[in-house]
A = this chain, B = another copy of it.
Amino acid sequence: MASTLADVAARAGVSTATVSRVLNGNYPVSAATRERVQRALEELSYVGNAPARALAAHSSDVIGVIVSDVSDPFFGIQASGLQWEAADSGLLAVICNTAGSPAAELKYLRLLLGQRMRAIVLTGGGSDEPEHLDATAALIDQAQSAGTGVVLCGRPAPPGVEAPVIAYDNRGGAQALTRHVLALGHRRIAYVAGPPGHGTTRSRLEGHRAALADAGLGDGAAPVVHGDFSRASGFDAALELMRVASGSTAVVVANDLMALGVIAALRQHGVAVPAEVSVAGFDDLPAAVDAVPALTTVRLPLREGARRAGRIAAGAEPLTAPGRMLWMPAELLARESVAPPGAGLPQWPPR
Query: In the complex, A203→B301 CA distance in Å?
Result: 36
Interface 9-mer from A49-57, A158-166, A314-322, A342-350: A49-57
Interface 9-mer from A113-121, A184-192, A207-215, A243-251: A113-121
A225 within 8 Å of B (CB atoms) = no
A73 within 8 Å of B (CB atoms) = yes
Q: Mark A250-292, 1 if CB is under 8 A from B, else 0.
A: 0000000000100110000000000000000000001101111
Residues on B with C-beta less than 8 A from A330 are: none
Q: A51–B60 contact, CB under 8 A?
A: yes
Residues on B with C-beta less than 8 A from A198 are: none
Q: B70–A95 contact, CB under 8 A?
A: yes
10 CB < 8 A contacts A-B: A1-B145, A47-B113, A71-B73, A76-B76, A83-B95, A92-B94, A93-B95, A94-B94, A260-B290, A290-B291
Contacts beyond the supplied A45-B142, A48-B114, A51-B60: 19 A-B pairs with Cβ under 8 Å: A47-B113, A49-B114, A50-B114, A50-B116, A51-B55, A62-B94, A62-B115, A70-B70, A70-B76, A71-B81, A73-B73, A83-B96, A92-B96, A92-B111, A92-B112, A93-B95, A287-B290, A290-B290, A290-B291
Chain A interface bracket (under 10, 10 to 19, 20 to 34, 35 or more)? 35 or more
Q: Mark A47-88, 1 if CB is under 8 A from B, else 0.
A: 111111011000010101000011111001101110110010
Q: Specify the chain B residue showing the minimal Cβ separation from A306.
A: B71
Q: A71–B79 contact, CB under 8 A?
A: yes
A146 within 8 Å of B (CB atoms) = yes
Q: A146–B2 contact, CB under 8 A?
A: yes
A33 within 8 Å of B (CB atoms) = no
Query: In the complex, A111→B263 CA distance in Å?
Result: 45
Query: In the complex, A231→B111 CA distance in Å?
Result: 37
Using A49-B114, A55-B52 as known contacts, say yes or no to A80 and B87 having CB atoms under 8 A apart: no
Interface residues of A in 1-52 (CB under 8 A from B): 1-2, 45, 47-52
Residues on B with C-beta less than 8 A from A60 are: 51
Residues on B with C-beta less than 8 A from A87 are: 96-97
Q: In the assembled complex, how far is the CB of residue A53 from the closest CB belonging to chain B, in whole angstroms?
A: 8
Q: B62–A71 contact, CB under 8 A?
A: no
Residues on B with C-beta less than 8 A from A54 are: 51
A110 within 8 Å of B (CB atoms) = yes
Q: A97–B80 contact, CB under 8 A?
A: yes
Query: In the complex, A289→B257 CA distance in Å?
Result: 13
Q: A80–B73 contact, CB under 8 A?
A: no
Using A76-B73, A79-B71, A83-B95 as known contacts, say yes or no to A47 and B114 having CB atoms under 8 A apart: yes
Q: Specify the chain B residue showing the minimal Cβ separation from A46.
A: B114
Q: In the assembled complex, how far is the CB of residue A62 from the closest CB belonging to chain B, in whole angstroms?
A: 6
Using A70-B70, A71-B77 as known contacts, say yes or no to A231 and B97 having CB atoms under 8 A apart: no
Partner of A70 from the list B83, B94, B112, B289 (CB cut-off 8 Å) is B83
